[in-house]
Amino acid sequence: MSRPSWDEYFMKITELVASRSTCLRRQVGAVLVRNKRILTTGYNGPPAGIEHCDKRGGCLRDELNIPSGERMELSRAIHAEQNAIIQAAKMGISIENSTLYVTTHPCFTCAKMLINAGVKKIIYKEGYPDSFSKGILKEAQVEVKQFNTLLKDYKE
C-alpha cells in the first residue's frame, strides 16, 4: 500500500483549502500543523461579511496595474496565513512551535506575523516575489523549505 508522506499529505490539504478562496488573482491555502495534527486552516479572501471582488466587478489591484508582491495594503483580501493565525486566536489555539504548510511563500507582512506567533517551520509550494520575507525568516531562524511535488522532496 502506498501512502503519502506527512508533508505530501498536508501539502495536498493546502490545495483543497485554497479552493475555497475567491481571490481573482491567486488562490492560496494554508494549514498550521503541530505533532502531525492540523491546528487551523486559512485561505485568502475578504473579511467575513465583506463582498468578494467578483461581486464588485473585479480586482482593484488589477484595475490599478499593481504587480504581485507590491502595495498589498490595497487588497480587499486577508492572506491565507493571516486567516489561519486569526482562526487560531478566535478558537484559543496556540500555534507556537508549529509548521505552516502553504501553497505560496509568505509575504513580508505574513512572515512577521508568523515569526511573532512562534511558527518554527514553513513548507511552501510556489515562490512569491518578496525578498524581504525570505530575509526576515532567515534572520528569525525559521526553517523554510520549498516542497517539490514531483520529487516528493524539498529543495533549498
Q: Which of 74, 70, 84 is nearest to 21 (CA)?
A: 84
Helices (H), the chain: 6-18, 60-63, 80-91, 108-117, 131-139
Does residue 81 have an active-site annotation? yes
Query: Which among 51, 70, 81, 156 is annotated as catalytic?
Result: 81
Q: What grid cell was written down for 122?
A: 514553513
CA–CA separation, 118 and 99 (whole Å):
9
User: Cα dist. 91→9, 31, 94, 132, 153 in Å?
Assistant: 24, 15, 9, 30, 33
Q: What grid cell was written down for 146?
A: 520549498
Q: What grid cell was written down for 44?
A: 485568502
User: Which residues participate in catalysis according to the annotation?
Assistant: 81
